[in-house]
Structure 1
Amino acid sequence: MNNKMLGFILLLLATLPLSGCWDNNEPERMLYINGVGVDYKDGQYELYAQIINFANTAKSEQPTNTETTQVEVGHASGKSLDEAVSKLYHTVDQKVFWGHLSYLVFSEEAMKEVKLSPVIDLFIRYRETRYQIWVYATKDPVEEVLLLRPVINKAITLSKLGDPRNSYEQESFIKSTNIRELLIQLNEPSHEAKIPLITIKDNWESINETIKAPYLAGAGIVTPNGFKGFIQDVEARGIRWMTNDTVRSQMTVQTESGNDISLVIENVKVKIKPVIINGSAKFDIDVYGDAIVDIITDSATPKEIEKLVKKEMKKQILTTYEEALKIDADIYRLSEQLYRKNVKEWKRLHKDGKVELTKDSIRNLNITIEKLSSPRKTFEQTID
């Protein structure tokens, strides 16, 4: 055997170990978790794991087979969440992959009885999971929330819970919060965070069935050490006017004659200025936005419409603020504004990172409508 032939044989033998990945996991032999629900009952953690079928998702936003089950939910309980996860492994057929975890849902009981930070730490301590996991709270049964499917049976990965930013751009009510944002808010003054409140609505119908859908009903206020309560429905409407993240949101105002005017508010910008008066912290707030008239059933001048919009926005902002005070919550993170802009006074006034707030803490609240317009020419004559 010549040297060339011997060299070729040695090279071939050297490449044989590279022909396979011995420690690789076959995708078809794994289960993929998309959502997790956490409940707490009788001193036990109740874990619900939503397993999704990626066969319905491949290369298409629409499931390829509407008869195929998109989602199944597994359940396990334990004295700790780690124990519940281990018990869940006892009932699964394949290895569980957590790298596609999209959202967490906490029940009201879990929010009240369990500190949130250690629970979240369980899910982010491993390299598979990410900080871009959405966090929600609910008063409904957690397992029912996890079994909700998107309208017209779209892929479960595009549900409102797994992909919330798309619908938020069309109607900005409560901004979704991921783990990264949640931890930042809990670690900085006022050491409180808002978690979207999800309820179940039976407001969709198909030929064969009534379709249940997730509904954003408000927000839950959490701290590193506990849960303060929910602000929901009409009491929560002021939140959208106090964040620069609001893209667009609907508002209805009523004229003196009792007729409604429907508008969309866009491009919301908020400026908060803390001031110290007689040793106490006060806040001057300026809110800016553009208003677009959608429906008007009565004649009104632009100044009249602008006045009505300002009055309603101010009312909603103060209503939400006062509801938050009832549960001792700094809903607009005013304490953080003082911390950022006057840390010396913040150090003097704060208690556990939070400045004491009262109804009079908002000294001035000014609303400015920078642009009032209408997309339809028929309305332009009405508001001129």
Structure 2
Amino acid sequence: MKNKRFFLLLFLTLLLTGCWDSKEPERMLYVNALGVDFKDEQYEVYAQIISFANVAKTELPTTDQPQAEVGYSKGKSLNEAVINLYHSMDQTVFWGHFSYVVISEEAMNNMKFSPVIDSLVRYRETRYQIWVYVTKDSVQDVLLVRPVLNRAITLSNLNDPEAGYSQESYIKPMNFREVIIDMDEPGHEALIPLISIEGNWKSNKEMIDAPVLSGVGVVTPNGFKGYIEGDKARGLQWMTNDTERGQVTFKTNDDSYTTTIIEKMKVNIQPIVESSTIRFDVAVDMEVTLDVVEGKVTADDVEKGVKKEVENQIKATFEEAIKMDVDVYRFSEQLYRKNVNAWKKHQKDGKIELNEDSIRNLTVHISQLKSDRKSFKETIEKE
């Protein structure tokens, strides 16, 4: 009887599938980033493959081997280009760790942004949390940039943009989910972070290139509208509650410059219906910290200086966007949510018409001003 039970148990174990179809991690290649270009009526794809041997259990690489290598292929569609890339792959490719995509200016101008998003989010291994960037530089060069101090490539500012955004909220990071929402909501435009490559770091051996946030690219479901760059994009950080920390530098009465830190933003946008036109009252509330005091400066000087500079930056960004027919502060969505009947009456393709006078009132209020000390005097006084 015991022998029968034993043989029955042995027979049943043969029916168990176990892990016969599993793939060993060391026998797979992992895509961390993708670069997409478009030339001569073909997609050009650059895939950044990373080695997790230099990532696991440490923040610093453990060997002198490259952390990443970039493969290249092209095709008449994005999927064809990716499949052609598989022809030169040594192992099975896993997309579950795919972190970000960089899209070239040529691809944007040829209206290839939406097809790229659509292709990538439909694949079962990818997610909606993939970060997205646009660049005027070579997408291959962007993917080949290594982090400063040769830290693990998964800790770069392109893989983890929220870390840098928490210290200086210049350009808000965007992932697939947020881009899709912005293009679906009135006025159907999304602001994609613009990346430039600059050699602004140096070691004792070489210059080190780094990806730098230099503005935003404006994309719609129907095409690409262009860029808002440099200081012209500064107003964006003062018109969103997502801003965690920013800086404002202004000139004082004695011709010296003072830099303040801005925190805890609160923005209120109120649409005002005026017969045949729509205008907006904008109220910006913030906390200001003065870390460095140079020359003679009072609390009133700081408040006036910050308010004037923030107002100027908000207006400069808005005026630059108006030239491009861009609703950069999403006023159309504000009207849609707060007065849908007025929106239905004045909208065209989801957007309302804006001009330089569309901001009726702009008020900047400093709810708290602190210096981290008891006075605004210089630490070391001049004799």
TM, length-normalised to structure 1:
0.96
Partner residue in 2 for 1:15: 13
Given the alignment of the two structures, is residue 87 of structure 1 paired with residue 84 of structure 2, yes or no?
yes
SS at match of 1:93: coil
Partner residue in 2 for 1:58: 56
Partner residue in 2 for 1:311: 308
SS at match of 1:295: coil
The two structures, once aligned, show a CA RMSD in angstroms of 1.3
State the distance in 2 between where 1:360 and 1:159 align: 41
State the distance in 1 between where 2:310 and 2:277 align: 26
Deviation at 1:378, TM superposition (A): 5.9
Q: What is the CA deviation profile of residues 49-81 of structure 1, one whole-angstrom value per residue up to 9, with x for unaligned ones?
A: 00001100111122112x111000001111111
Q: What is the CA deviation profile of residues 93-112 of structure 1, one whole-angstrom value per residue up to 9, with x for unaligned ones?
A: 11111111100100111111
Given the alignment of the two structures, is residue 261 of structure 1 paired with residue 273 of structure 2, yes or no?
no
State the distance in 1 between where 2:114 and 2:36 align: 13
SS at match of 1:132: coil
Look up the equivalent residue of 2:45 and give its one-letter code: L
Cα gap change, 1:381 to 1:201, in 2 (>3 Å): closer
Given the alignment of the two structures, is residue 367 of structure 1 paired with residue 338 of structure 2, yes or no?
no
Indicate which of 328, 336, 339 corresponds to 1:339: 336
SS at match of 1:230: strand
Deviation at 1:114, TM superposition (A): 2.4
State the distance in 2 between where 1:9 and 1:315 align: 85
Unaligned runs of 5+ in 2: none
Deviation at 1:380, TM superposition (A): 5.5
Deviation at 1:178, TM superposition (A): 0.3
Look up the equivalent residue of 2:148 and give its one-letter code: V
Deviation at 1:257, TM superposition (A): 2.2
What stretches of structure 1 move > 6 A for 4+ residues in a row?
none
Deviation at 1:19, TM superposition (A): 6.8
Partner residue in 1 for 2:226: 229
Given the alignment of the two structures, is residue 353 of structure 1 paired with residue 350 of structure 2, yes or no?
yes
SS at match of 1:360: coil
Look up the equivalent residue of 1:98 and give its one-letter code: W
Deviation at 1:167, TM superposition (A): 1.1
Say whether the 8 Å CA contact 2:293–2:378 is kept in structure 1: no
Q: What is the CA deviation profile of residues 170-226 of structure 1, one whole-angstrom value per residue up to 9, with x for unaligned ones?
A: 111001000000000000001000000000111111122211111000100000110
Say whether the 8 Å CA contact 2:108–2:223 is kept in structure 1: yes
TM, length-normalised to structure 2:
0.97
Say whether the 8 Å CA contact 2:61–2:150 is kept in structure 1: yes
Deviation at 1:299, TM superposition (A): 1.3
State the distance in 2 between where 1:77 and 1:19 align: 39
Partner residue in 2 for 1:49: 47
Say whether the 8 Å CA contact 1:272–1:337 is kept in structure 2: yes
Look up the equivalent residue of 1:208 and give its one-letter code: K
SS at match of 1:175: coil
Given the alignment of the two structures, is residue 40 of structure 1 paired with residue 38 of structure 2, yes or no?
yes
Deviation at 1:332, TM superposition (A): 0.5
Partner residue in 2 for 1:141: 138
Given the alignment of the two structures, is residue 208 of structure 1 paired with residue 205 of structure 2, yes or no?
yes
Deviation at 1:13, TM superposition (A): 2.4
SS at match of 2:243: coil
Look up the equivalent residue of 1:24 and give its one-letter code: S
